[in-house]
Amino acid sequence: KDFKIQPIGAPIGFHQQPSSKDDWAATESGAGKSYFQRNEANRKLLLKKFDKTYIRDFRNMDVNRGKFYLANTKLYKRDMALYMPNLRGRTLARGDGNTAPVLKGKVSVVVLFSRSWAEQQTKSFVGKKENPELWEALAEAGEGAQVVEVNHEEFRLSSLMVRLFEWNLRRVRSVEEQERYFILRGIPQVVKDNVALMNDKVGYVFLLDRDCRIRWSACGDAWDGEKESLVKGLQKL
Domain ranges of the chain: 24-236
The pLDDT assigned to 98 comes to: 94
The pLDDT assigned to 111 comes to: 98
Contact at 8 Å (CB) between 229 and 71? yes
The pLDDT assigned to 48 comes to: 58
Q: Does domain 24-236 have CATH number 3.30.200.20?
A: no
DSSP 201-214: TS-EEEEE-TT-BE
Contact at 8 Å (CB) between 184 and 151? yes
The pLDDT assigned to 230 comes to: 98
Contact at 8 Å (CB) between 73 and 7? yes
Reduce the DSSP state of residue 195 to 3 states and report it: coil
- Beta strand 181-184 with 88-91 is antiparallel
The pLDDT assigned to 64 comes to: 84
Q: How far apart are CA 203 and CA 103, in angstroms?
A: 19
| Sequential pLDDT tens for the chain (237 residues) | 556 788 988 899 999 999 877 776 666 655 555 544 554 555 455 455 445 555 456 556 777 888 989 999 999 999 999 999 999 988 888 778 899 999 999 999 999 998 888 999 999 999 999 999 999 999 999 999 999 999 997 655 455 555 556 656 667 678 898 899 998 988 888 899 899 998 888 999 999 999 999 999 999 999 999 999 999 999 999
Q: How far apart are CA 4 and CA 201, in angstroms?
A: 19
The pLDDT assigned to 163 comes to: 58
The pLDDT assigned to 175 comes to: 81
The pLDDT assigned to 208 comes to: 99
Nearest C-alpha neighbor of 97 from the set 149, 52, 137, 59: 149
Q: How far apart are CA 117 and CA 220, in angstroms?
A: 10
